Amino acid sequence: MLVLSRKVKQEFSFLNLGITIEILRVSGKKVQVGVVAPDHVRVLRSELMESETNARIHDAAQEQRHAFRNKLNTVSLALSVTQAHLQAGRVDEAEQSLNVTLDQLSELDQFAGKISPEEEIMAAPPRKRSALVVEDNAQERELLAEYLRVHGYDVSVAADGEQALDYLAQHHVPDVVLLDMNMPNMNGSNTAKAIRCDPRFQHLKLFVISGSEPETPNGEADHHYDQWFSKPIHPHEFVLELESQLGAAC
């Protein structure tokens, strides 16, 4: 049993969950509780816990899912009882309920430490999409890269086709290459052909972003490109289309 003193700044750490709870202030009917957690751990009020739990454990084994839901439900109920006591002015009862909540969190922490490596995948943050932006105009290149980063992409850049091929030879293959056409040293068309001739990039998505009209030799779409986006692009619509195309590819 964890015993809660009335002293502020008291901390309780749950190492397997990676969170720390700190009693910030006890005043009248209110207890301020701070929660410190890693970036990938979301902290929710009890009324939002059920929907978040469903999303987080969707792919877990049935038995583990059932046990995890029960433990989270207990924590949620304990928090709700604490809140009800505070609203009724029963500070002593609220303190006891808060102790119960901390006990339940301790049990949940131990439970999390027993989860197998396969089940830890459900708690891991989703993998970021990766993109290589190939554009000779430095301002356009950095602005597009930054816009994609804001939307959760891991973005690298290259100023021309030669730099793009060097990057691909030395790094993990990205999900998509965004390619300008009119570039010095090695233009977009030759870059696309070189990429498609390399079996390592067989499944690499290749999208053109160009101010020129789509290249359609002999009236047929060029098989080197998965899609052609004409400048000026609408960034929001572009990202939605990008997500749609990459989602279809997975």
Same domain, 22 and 60: yes
- Cα-Cα-Cα-Cα dihedral sign, residues 199, 203, 205, 208: positive
Q: Count the neighbouring beta carbons within 10 Å of the beta carbon of residue 210.
A: 20
Does any domain span residue 96? yes
pLDDT reported for residue 28: 63
User: Which tokens hold the place of 11?
Assistant: 């901390």
From 93, 123, 153, give the residue that closes a domain: 123
Q: Is the peptide bond before 232 cis (omega within 30 degrees of 0)?
A: yes
The pLDDT score that the predictor gives to residue 138 is: 93
Long-range (24+ apart) CB contacts under 8 A made by 25-33 are 26/91, 28/91, 29/86, 29/87, 29/89, 29/91, 30/86, 31/82, 31/86, 31/94, 31/98, 33/98
Terminal CA-CA length for the chain: 48
Confidence at residue 103, expressed as pLDDT on a 0 to 100 scale: 76
Instruction: Classify residue 239: in a domain, yes or no.
Output: yes
Q: Residue 3 domain-assigned?
A: no
Residue 97 and residue 19 share a domain: yes
**Using CA atoms, how far apart are residues 29 and 87, in angstroms rounded to an integer?**
6
212: in domain = yes
Domain of 220?
Answer: 129-249
| Residue count of the chain | 250
Whether residue 242 sits in one domain with residue 197: yes
Q: What is the pLDDT of residue 68?
A: 67
In this structure, the answer to whether residues 199 and 140 fall within a common structural domain is yes
The residue among 123, 155, 171 that closes a domain is: 123
Same domain for 107 and 205? no
Query: Nearest Cα to 133, choosing from 60, 209, 81?
Result: 209
The amino acid present at 85, given as its one-letter code, is: H
Strand pairing class (227-230; 205-210):
parallel
CA gap 7, 3 in Å, rounded: 11
pLDDT along the chain (250 residues), means of 10: 51 66 67 64 50 51 64 71 80 80 73 56 66 94 93 94 94 93 90 91 90 61 78 89 75
Total-model pTM: 0.50
Q: In the beta sheet, which residues pair with residue 35? A: 21
Same domain? 192 vs 206: yes
Specify the pLDDT at position 221: 46
- The predicted pLDDT at position 250 comes to 46
- Cα–Cα dist 59/232, whole Å: 41
E-strand stretches of 114-234 = 129-134, 153-158, 176-179, 205-210, 227-230
Choose the final residue of a domain: 123, 146, 173.
Answer: 123
Q: What is the dihedral of CA 26, 28, 29, 32, to 10 degrees?
A: -20
Q: Based on the structure, what is the number of domains in the chain? A: 2
Residue 63 confidence (pLDDT): 66
